[in-house]
Structure 1
């Protein structure tokens, strides 16, 4: 049970600190969209798209470096400092009056966030050395992120009924401050100094596992589907509500809350479904749902009038949230299944970077193309990208994807001590059967054994 994790007081404080920071970030998402509209009006989508593109560039470039070197810093002091920096930045946002200032502050804010996330992730295995507890902690983190997606817009909608959106930035700063206080009260062990080659080894290990594992190549396609549909929500909601539907600030928060509700509904129902069906059919169904959501959004963009558009938009945004949860919730399970424990941090870092690379492609499209060509052209373009990602996932992730695979090792290529349970086939080969992942002893995905023997004989 996840509740048993919270008996560990250090983990409880860290988890609460992460939740507090997540809710602060969620309020910033709503407030930033409204700030962009306040400064740029009809060009808000381009401004917000640029700001989020800057965020993705930072995540793709900064996060992998910090993930590799997080153990070189006094981690408690580092996490507290990053929260203080983030609080100071969001407190400055309400006072800006130039668009370029948004870009500068967002770059600094997201650099701090990109450093915080991998450092926090590196701490959790030290706080929870038991593999089963660490696995439950990953599930708890996904649930926290899902709850933030739902509740932050709802809190923002309630707040915007009585205050200006500028005060949401104050709420964000309070969230980061609470997070910093909780981290200060937590016992966080400092890791030993990494070796000089650790950065190259960790980054290359994660990318190598992705490139060699069929199901992970399929995950890359699913990352693109999530980003294509999600960029509509993140970038285009404010302009669609204010300019097309004629809604208010609260209307923006309401649509974002509908998206979060769809995410929450599916995330809570998935564990039993995953036990029965497995990750592949659930994640592919999620991709199909996202493409359907994009199709619904395109239909909405073609409708010029009608009060029914509000109800249809709420349903569409919820549908996108549901599809997103169906892909993101099992992702950690797929990554764990595809790696040895020692390689897991590198693989999670690679997924973090590669998934944000997909957002780096779709955010500029959602922002700049909307400004130049309107919602319909933009959403059709994103739907095409999502379709390509879906097809790639179908082709790269085989339907028959067993965990335990029989494969051949050539004599002399692996430590014999690792082959004690293997069967000698002939003078050249052992047959070995176990849960197969890419690691130092298994650098390529195995072909069928007959093909392996034929290739070796040739």
Structure 2
């Protein structure tokens, strides 16, 4: 399925760079949760919730500004510099001893990530102009993220048997360094100039395309569902395993791996299905799957005791992973169809910010509310948010939408419109 992609050396190097950075980030995810637990104990969820809220604030504000000037930067050198910053930050994390230091370093780390991710995403369609190749690349990217979610916790679990979790941060830094070296070896075309000189126009064009495009407005609701379910996985897993199930560090890693396994199963089968099916039913099915996973998690949280929870929890976490993959895999395809090449960096950055705006809502709920009231109330609240998201997606994304609509008709004049042909 991916054979034709691997023949493209520039894509192969860039994809390998992505995988390297992803696995480094995956190790940090596990290590950061354990670091928070060491410093805060039972309040670890609140610490993680705050750290991840800082991450989302940075993502929402930084990405559109970077995209506004992406066409003025040498993208290869820019990506390498951002990897160097991220590697330096994670090397500092093992040496901290105060909770506030986590927050400062996370802010720096995620500022670099907020600039890196949309820039990287906008490079791929320039390297792979063929629609089918690009669709395969989207699936490969999701599969890579899935394999990271699956394998990183397993690698971390094995490593934690013989070393301290602090060394996982070193593994992350190595991943970023290798990623930077591969980007240096890749021929990355610089972005074409958009022709927009005004700062306001540059930072808002992606948002304006979202506002004008029904399928993208529906995507906003789906972003909310992914964030509601994902917050349970990212924020609450550590405390749920350690305090409710009485598990160990290895148990935390294995439950996160179950989530990755569910994602992998869907990511492997979805590309061929997308050749025959529209994205809308696939993504709405993923949304329904995520809500099912949230309801099952609520049922788990109400159980007082029982060894059966150790068997049920991985299944629930895997269901959440499967639903997430069904929504995220087709997202890049929707974005590509909704903008011309000159506007893609802005549109990818808008999706990056808007999707993380949803996480900005759900992360504090998962962290702070669970600390104050427990898992059941928190997960019921997140399930209600997810239900709101799927309702919005169904209503905002028409069942039958036109393939292409001239953006100028939507923005009132060709002069004011983004330079895009917007898919409805």
Q: How does the TM-score come out when normalised to structure 2?
A: 0.92
| Post-superposition offset of 1:186 | 2.4
Decide whether the 8 Å contact of 1:340 with 1:437 is kept in 2.
no
Distance 1:103 1:211, change over 3 A: same
Decide whether the 8 Å contact of 2:191 with 2:342 is kept in 1.
no
Show the counterpart of 1:437.
Answer: 405
Distance 1:19 1:252, change over 3 A: same
Q: CA RMSD in A?
A: 2.0
Show the counterpart of 1:156.
Answer: 156
Alignment of 1:25-424 (within 5 A): 25-130=25-130, 132-191=132-191, 195=195, 197=197, 199-399=199-399, 401-403=400-402
Decide whether the 8 Å contact of 1:69 with 1:194 is kept in 2.
no
Decide whether the 8 Å contact of 2:194 with 2:343 is kept in 1.
no
* Distance in 1 separating the partners of 2:158 and 2:81: 31
Distance 1:133 1:394, change over 3 A: closer
Which region of structure 1 is more displaced relative to structure 2, 226-235 or 332-341?
332-341
The size of the alignment, in residue pairs, is: 412
Deviations 1:355-389 (A, max 9, x none): 01000000000001111111111111111111111
* Distance in 1 separating the partners of 2:76 and 2:357: 29
Distance 1:101 1:223, change over 3 A: same
Show the counterpart of 1:9.
Answer: 9
Which region of structure 1 is more displaced relative to structure 2, 369-378 or 118-127?
118-127
Work out which of the two has the higher radius of gyration on C-alpha atoms and give 1 or 2. Answer: 1
* Distance in 1 separating the partners of 2:172 and 2:291: 33
Decide whether the 8 Å contact of 1:209 with 1:438 is kept in 2.
no
Query: Comparing both chains, which one has the higher relative contact order based on Cα–Cα distances under 8 Å and sequence gaps of 6 or more?
Result: 2
* Distance in 2 separating the partners of 1:216 and 1:116: 22
* Distance in 2 separating the partners of 1:372 and 1:310: 24
| Post-superposition offset of 1:202 | 4.4
Decide whether the 8 Å contact of 1:53 with 1:360 is kept in 2.
yes
| Post-superposition offset of 1:195 | 4.7
3-state SS of paired residue (2:69): helix
* Distance in 2 separating the partners of 1:26 and 1:437: 40
Deviations 1:372-412 (A, max 9, x none): 1111111111111111111111222222x143xxxxxxxxx
Which region of structure 1 is more displaced relative to structure 2, 2-11 or 222-231?
2-11
Identify unmatched segments of 5+ residues in structure 1: 404-434, 445-458
* Distance in 2 separating the partners of 1:237 and 1:198: 45
| Post-superposition offset of 1:90 | 0.7
3-state SS of paired residue (1:440): helix
* Distance in 2 separating the partners of 1:42 and 1:169: 23
| Post-superposition offset of 1:131 | 5.1
Distance 1:138 1:382, change over 3 A: same
| Post-superposition offset of 1:278 | 1.8
* Distance in 2 separating the partners of 1:226 and 1:100: 28
Decide whether the 8 Å contact of 2:142 with 2:325 is kept in 1.
no
Show the counterpart of 1:448.
Answer: none
3-state SS of paired residue (1:45): helix
Deviations 1:55-94 (A, max 9, x none): 1111111111112212322333322221111111111111
Distance 1:53 1:297, change over 3 A: same
* Distance in 2 separating the partners of 1:246 and 1:23: 27
| Post-superposition offset of 1:124 | 3.2
Identify unmatched segments of 5+ residues in structure 2: 413-424
Deviations 1:96-141 (A, max 9, x none): 1100000000000111111111232343344345555444433322
